[in-house]
Chains A and B, each alone.
Chain A
Amino acid sequence: MDALSTTGLTKTYGHRDLPIKRPGSRPSGIVRALEDLTISVDEGEIFGFLGPNGAGKSTTIRLLLGFLHPTVGSAQVLGFDIVRDSVAIRGRVGYLPGGIALYDSLSGKGLLDYLGDLTGRPSSRRAELLDRLELSARTLDRPVRDYSRGMRQKIGIIQALQHDPELAILDEPTEGLDPLMQRAFYEILDDLKAAGRTIFFSSHVLSEVERVCDRVAIVRRGRLVALQEVASLLEHRKRNVELRAASDDDVPTLDDVPGVSSIARPADGRLTCQLEGDVGPFLAAIAGHRISDLTIEPAHLEEAFLELYQDAEPEDDGASHAVPAAEPAIPVGAAR
């Protein structure tokens, strides 16, 4: 069963009486924050949701939680409709907003108790989370206004996960955490996944998405541009290769080797190139040459992400955009 699925989920903002313009015409004043998003997240999966600021990540999350109402399309979370059953959804979901704001006058314990009471489920994971994120009882007795950014983020993580939700929606969860706490957080995610919980994970930190997520969706200007397993997304990325031969005469000729491109031979027996796909032909081509050093950098999600974005239009600042005109009209009257 899908923990979460969306079908053509679209969110526009703007005056309901303004018509949507045709392509090439002036902007209509209607903004499409999210357009025709269709994704599904499996139960027990850690799903990364990527995109720059204004791409539609927060809009999607807010639609799923009932903060926003979809203009077109539908979505189900844990089998519940996001419009009709919003309260039921929020009873089963843990949510960490990006840049979470907390009640400064409350103590950490008071805040967690309050939010736990509102959730109406026992805070069965709180003690474990406090222990793993190294928040002591003494710290919890202090008012939140005295907390550092990292401590606030820890409280944010705990309030989202303390009731052991079936689905956790986490927006920039490691923001403000030091590397040790980031690692502790990743271990928490691993444990949640092992327990069959689903994580919907939005982040700008591509290395951590690569580290923790099974699949990623990448959105740009409100549209889904990629939805793949992380491993599959990386499989076809170009890896940077640098080799050093014992002498210039030992530098192999790689021009006709499948998957090799951008070959450069600076000097001193060095060669750099990019390698895509199967490494076998490359290894065969350098066999028999006296190679003193070889480095093949692993492909990173960052390159895949940047590649998907490099064809962005010059005026694309990552912000929500006015409706391009050639698209079919939609009932913007339902935009509220």
Chain B
Amino acid sequence: MNRAIFVRTWRAQRLKLLICSIAIAAWSVFLPVIYQSFGSQMRALVDSGVIPKQLMNFGGGDVFSLSGSIAIGYIHPIAIVLVGIFAVGFTTSAVAGERQRGTLEVILARPVSRRAVYGTLLVSALVFIAIVLAAAIGGTILGSGLAGVASELPVDRLPLLWLNGILLWGAIAAIGLAASVSFDRLAPALGITLALTVISYFLEILGSLWPDAKGLQPYSLFHYLAPREVLNGAASASGFAILAIVAAVAIGWALVEFPRRDLAAPS
């Protein structure tokens, strides 16, 4: 961990972080309000057969319960993009982008080990993700209060929900950074990480909407993001462990690969 790099990274990302945090908080305020306002009408619609029941199971959420609507908020593309800006965008450009621009040269010419650079960027990514997810939880609390459903919100389980989110996005960030330290150009690092994230997301959504594809869901990292189960007190520890293992493997790879790589002159 290098303080100067962390401070510089924080300064470079803080405006983006503020915008994403406000946006995800606003989005999270919105979902309890939807649940309170339209939850019963949506159930009536589903019961009437106008809307296919499976469509109401998008990403393991629903709009008939507060926990279900919060779960939709977490798996919705809006939230995915807002957190992905840091988990994918920041991490992949953190090393490969700097290599491509040539700015990594002046950093690594200083008495800073590559592992210290990597560790600082990993901590930075986790801090950014944690802040965005905290903003989401803050928005959920605020939205529940505004919608008058705060009594239904199990506040004591929110830290576990936060941890679940950090583990998912931390695993994706670790993959992004592992790709970033493995390539000299941004495009392959970003491409690989984005492809893994999109495929993983697709498998989870497909499995949630199509019963025959349910068997694909365990292969998705997003399957182990379980806001409804966490808020209902039914979260599985194995899901948390799988995310932690994926993150640990990616971190291990990066810690081995980055120091042993040859860093040729930027072209």
Contact = CB atoms under 8 A, between A and B. Distances in A.
B1 to A, nearest CB: 13
A118 B110 contact: yes
Given A102-B103, A103-B103, A119 B260 contact: no
A90 B110 contact: yes
B263 A97 contact: no
Contacts of B106: 95, 97, 100-102, 115, 159
B4 A118 contact: yes
Interface stretch (A63-71, A188-196, A223-231, A301-309): A63-71
Given A97-B105, A101-B102, A101-B105, A115 B260 contact: no
Interface string A115-146: 10111100000000000000000000000000
Interface string A68-91: 110000000000000000111011
Interface centre among B3, B8, B261 (most CB of A within 10 A): B8
A58 interface: yes
A99 interface: yes
Given A65-B109, A90-B111, A336 B260 contact: yes
Nearest to B261: A336
Contacts of A336: 260-262
Interface of B is mostly: loop
B76 to A, nearest CB: 32
Interface in B93-134: 101-103, 105-113
Nearest to A91: B111
A109 to B, nearest CB: 14
B12 interface: yes
A67 B102 CA distance: 13
B263 A118 contact: no
Contact of B112 (A67, A87, A95): A87
Given A67-B262, A117-B4, A336-B260, A87 B102 contact: no
A105 interface: yes
A93 B5 CA distance: 19
B102 A69 contact: no
A62 interface: yes
A250 to B, nearest CB: 58
B262 A68 contact: yes
Given A97-B106, A100-B102, A101-B105, A67 B263 contact: yes
B2 interface: yes
A67 B68 CA distance: 51
Contacts of B263: 62, 67-68
A95 B12 contact: no
B44 to A, nearest CB: 53
Nearest to B257: A336
29 contacts: A62-B265, A67-B264, A68-B262, A68-B263, A68-B264, A69-B260, A86-B113, A87-B112, A88-B111, A90-B108, A90-B111, A93-B109, A95-B109, A97-B102, A97-B105, A100-B105, A101-B105, A101-B266, A102-B106, A105-B12, A114-B4, A115-B106, A115-B110, A118-B5, A119-B110, A159-B106, A335-B262, A336-B261, A336-B262
Interface of A: 13, 58, 62, 65-69, 86-88, 90-91, 93, 95, 97-103, 105, 114-115, 117-120, 159, 335-336
* Pairs of residues from A and B, 5 with the lowest C-beta to C-beta distance, nearest first: A101-B102, A91-B111, A117-B4, A118-B110, A95-B109
Given A90-B108, A90-B109, A101-B102, 8 more contacts: A66-B108, A90-B111, A91-B110, A91-B111, A97-B105, A103-B103, A336-B260, A336-B262
